[in-house]
Amino acid sequence: MTVQLSRTAGRREVETKRVSLSERKQRRAAFWFLLPDSLGLLIFVAVPMLLAIGLGFFSVDGFGHAEFIGFGNYLRMAADPQFWSSTGVTLLYLVIVVPAIFVVGLGLALLVQQRIPFIGVIRSALFVPYVISLVVIAMVWQFMLTDKVGVLNGFLELFGIHGLSFLGDPQLTLGTVVVITVWFQMGYYMIIFLAGLQDIPGELYEAARIDGASAWQRFRFITLPLLRPTSFFVLITSTIAVVTGGFDLVYVLTNGGPSGATSLLIFYIYQQAFLYGELGYAAAIGSLLIVVLMAWSLLMFKLTKGGRFDND
């Protein structure tokens, strides 16, 4: 009996050592897999971010002359009407594009999860714009939207609609940029939502059908609640993408015009840094943007418990 207990303890000890050895191998593998990405983030994101924050406290004239001015750039920002105008345009762009991306991406995901012919081709066609260079997309849309000779204006003239200037009318230009942005990004978020939908157990829908639930009730009480972690991810990433992206599109399509109608904050930073040589001022605006986005992201994580919400 004593010998048997001793053998059992020995086997457990050997098994524990194997598990420990396996865990060490997994941790070592995780370390080496994460190391390239971590170095890339450190070199290309964290270090430039810290340098930009530091540069925001200097006046840099573009010829290498720098002078420490403390919060001078931030005080200038508060009194800069163009800065506030660009902030307003960016907020308007944000509150339209993010909900539109959410609704269109989710709608397309619900559509392409159906078993219909050529579904793989349809999914690929919807995703293709996302992998094309934004500059190329902007040039194609510019060709289509050119006043009088553009393809879209030619099509609208068939219905008696004349004289629309999608890229020259301040009342239409931002809407045009919004439509192109949503069209460009909808495929990516469709894939994200599709992955979330495929994680929902089909038994829940079957049980709901047996109980007589309508399609809207299944969507309202099953799909939406179980998609909350995915929705959280989409809202966080799309907000950051909208605020920090869109420069290529605006630069090629409108160059911030007409009359500043599409002068997003990211484009205003570019103008200050590379057109006017105000590198310190541009860095201060960029730093403020980083702080606002980080604060908003932390607030979202806090309110939603990291996207897990209350049910998990």
153 domain residue, yes or no: yes
Taking a C-beta distance cutoff of 8 angstroms, is the pair 292, 211 a contact? Answer: no
User: Residue 154's pLDDT band (boundaries 50, 70, 90)?
Assistant: confident
- The two three-digit tokens of residue 268, written as one number: 């205003």
Better pLDDT: 61 or 200: 200
Q: Is 260 left (phi over 0), alpha (psi -120 to 50) or beta?
A: left
Q: Is the pLDDT of residue 2 over 70?
A: no
Count: domains in the chain: 1
Mean pLDDT of all residues in the chain? 87
Tell me what pLDDT residue 160 has: 82
Q: Which of 237, 216, 280, 268 is nearest to 69 (CA)?
A: 280
Q: What mean pLDDT is predicted for residues 135-143?
A: 90
Percent of the chain with pLDDT over 70: 92
54 domain residue, yes or no: no
Q: What is the pTM of this model?
A: 0.83
Q: Is the pLDDT of residue 312 over 60?
A: no
Q: Is the pLDDT of residue 198 over 60?
A: yes
User: Residue 147's pLDDT band (boundaries 50, 70, 90)?
Assistant: confident
Rg, the chain, Cα only: 26
Spell 156-183 as b/e; 16+ CB within 10 A means b.
eeeeeeeebbbbeeeebbbebbbebbbb
Tell me what pLDDT residue 166 has: 87
Q: What mean pLDDT is predicted for residues 152-167?
A: 84
193 domain residue, yes or no: yes
Q: What mean pLDDT is predicted for residues 149-168?
A: 84
48 cis-preceded (ω within 30 degrees of 0): no
Q: What mean pLDDT is predicted for residues 192-198?
A: 93
- The two three-digit tokens of residue 159, written as one number: 């219905």
Q: What mean pLDDT is predicted for residues 50-79?
A: 87
User: 3-class DSSP state for residue 68?
Assistant: strand
Q: Spell out the alpha helix ranges (H) of 199-255.
A: 202-210, 215-218, 224-226, 228-244, 247-253
Q: What is the per-residue pLDDT across 94-120, written as a single tens digit (0 to 9) for each?
A: 999 999 999 999 999 999 988 888 888
Domain residue limits at 116 = 80-277
290 domain residue, yes or no: no
User: Residue 303's pLDDT band (boundaries 50, 70, 90)?
Assistant: confident
Please, is 113 exposed, middle or buried when counting C-beta atoms within 10 Å of its C-beta (0-12, 13-18, 19+)? middle
61 domain residue, yes or no: no
163 domain residue, yes or no: yes
43 domain residue, yes or no: no
Q: What is the per-residue pLDDT across 34-45, written as a single tens digit (0 to 9) for each?
A: 999 999 999 988
Cα four-point dihedral sign 74, 80, 81, 85: negative
Of 19-33, 55-69, 99-113, 249-263, where does the model show the most confidence? 99-113
User: Residue 169's pLDDT band (boundaries 50, 70, 90)?
Assistant: confident
User: Residue 14's pLDDT band (boundaries 50, 70, 90)?
Assistant: low
Q: Is the pLDDT of residue 1 over 60?
A: no
182 domain residue, yes or no: yes
CA 203 to chain centre: 32
Tell me what pLDDT residue 116 has: 83
Give kind and range of the element (H or E) at residue 82: helix 81-112
- Enumerate the β-bridge partners of residue 158: none
Q: Which residue has the tokens 């994101």?
A: 45
Output phi, psi for 231, to 5 deg. Answer: -65, -40
Q: Is the pLDDT of residue 164 over 90?
A: no
Here the CATH number for the domain that contains residue 173 is 1.10.3720.10
Q: Which of 136, 95, 82 is nearest to 252 (CA)?
A: 136
Residue 291 to residue 83: CA distance in whole angstroms: 16
User: Residue 183's pLDDT band (boundaries 50, 70, 90)?
Assistant: very high
